[in-house]
Amino acid sequence: MTSGAKIFLKSNHRANGSDGSDIFEELSNLVTEQVNPRTRRIDRASTRNILNLMNDEDQMVAPAVRGEIPQIARAVDMIVAAMQQGGRLFYIGAGTSGRLGVLDASECPPTFGCEPDLVQGVIAGGIGTLVKSREGVEDRAAAGIRDLQRRKFSAKDVLCGLAASSRTPYVLGALEWARGIGSKTIFIHCDASNKRRKTADVVIHPVVGPEVIMGSTRMKSGTAQKLVLNMLTTASMVRLGKVYGNLMVDLQMNSRKLVERSKRVVMMVTGLEYAEAGELLAKADGHVKTALVMHLGSLTRRKAQHALKKSDGHVRQALAFSRK
């Protein structure tokens, strides 16, 4: 045993006031910590059969997530309501779960043109743990609270806790504190034995069964969490008017790729040629929504902007408003 492991075990013993047998017992009962009978002989399999085994297990993920759609829908409605009142969405997690939250949050601004602080990912141990694992930071319940306080988390915000096992102290401490100050909470985990219904307003628990490698929740559990996060932010942004049809129309033209994608979106919706789309976007100050409402509604930029403001940024409603 390394000296670091010895120190951790001693400090953990003092912190918990026990020899750790309570945690051992808890882990033994978690679905995510069980041995998968279908992959017991994976160490004897060929490369191709290893991959087949992994792919077979992955087939369980999407159905498990589909079964949680009623809860996911409740969570989306909660997020949309909060954002319409000036609130934000925070993800909080440790390890793989924390990284997934940071990833989803970081992809919202370039995809939907939202402000960088509208969706935020908080990970145990800080930003450095995105690229280098720090074991033990997930055991500090108070740290999750401090990390939220540093970001000025308030009652009008929504907190989404991520913990495949459902037991991460860093996440549970943060959820309990957030509920205590009156904010709405969501908890995503993959353990069937503990729904934690008293821990959050909405509990989403896609149960994908034991992992291919026992306890490696970056696999099926991680995939399930990623799918849910995709659904939470994408559905919320659709509800908030960030798309027209299935096209991204709140793009920020801050890279060559996004400039060209913006032109392509305008061309697809309006039927304009490449050069014409570029000219229209220039008149719209580079804002795709404004350009679309200007062209489809035969409006000046100022009137298109007014229509969008009156319709809370929804292109269809803005066009309907402009025709009244």
> What is 124-159 written as a DSSP string?
TT-GGGGTS--TTGGG-HHHHHHHHHHTT--TTSEE
Q: Which helix (H) or strand (E) holds 193?
A: none
Amino acid letter for position 195: K
Query: Which of the pair, 278 or 34, is modelled with greater confidence?
Result: 278
Concatenated DSSP letters of 239-308:
HTT-EETTEE-S----SHHHHHHHHHHHHHHH---HHHHHHHHHHTTT-HHHHHHHHHHT--HHHHHHHH
Q: Which residues are catalytic?
A: 107, 138
Task: Report whether 130 contacts 103 (CB < 8 A).
Answer: no
Has residue 20 got a pLDDT over 90?
Answer: no
Whole-number pLDDT of residue 9 = 38
Rg of the chain over all Cα atoms, to the nearest angstrom = 23
**In terms of DSSP bridges, do strands 119-123 and 89-93 run parallel, antiparallel, or are they unpaired?**
parallel
Amino acid letter for position 161: G
pLDDT tens string 284-302 = 999 999 999 999 999 999 9
**Distance (Å, whole) CA 288 – CA 113:** 11
In this structure, the chain runs to a length of 324
Give the bridge partners for 164, in sequence order: none
**In terms of DSSP bridges, do strands 243-244 and 247-248 run parallel, antiparallel, or are they unpaired?**
antiparallel
- What's the chain's average pLDDT? 89
Query: Which of the pair, 322 or 70, is modelled with greater confidence?
Result: 70
Q: What is the mean pLDDT of residues 153-169?
A: 95
Percent with pLDDT over 70 in the chain: 89
Q: Please write down the long-range contacts of 106-110, taking CB distance under 8 Å and 24 or more positions apart.
A: 108/233, 108/237, 109/252, 110/251, 110/252, 110/258
> In the chain, what are the domains?
61-239 (3.40.50.10490), 243-322 (1.10.8.1080)
Residue in the structure block whose two tokens are 């549970």: 172
Q: What is the DSSP letter of 217?
A: T
Tally of CA atoms within 13 A in the half-sphere of 129 that contains its CB: 22
Whole-number pLDDT of residue 323 = 77
Task: Report whether 115 contacts 93 (CB < 8 A).
Answer: no
**Distance (Å, whole) CA 108 – CA 104:** 7
Kindly state the tokens that stand for 200: 């959050």
247 burial (CB, 10 Å; 0-12 / 13-18 / 19+) is middle
Q: Nearest-CA neighbor of 299 among 283, 278, 275, 279?
A: 283
Has residue 58 got a pLDDT over 90?
Answer: yes
**Distance (Å, whole) CA 76 – CA 49:** 39
Question: What beta strand segments (E) does the chain contain?
Answer: 89-93, 119-123, 158-162, 184-188, 202-204, 243-244, 247-248
Has residue 17 got a pLDDT over 50?
Answer: no
Kindly state the tokens that stand for 152: 């000025």
Q: Nearest-CA neighbor of 224 among 319, 109, 96?
A: 96
Q: Band of the pLDDT at 1, cuts 50, 70, 90? A: very low
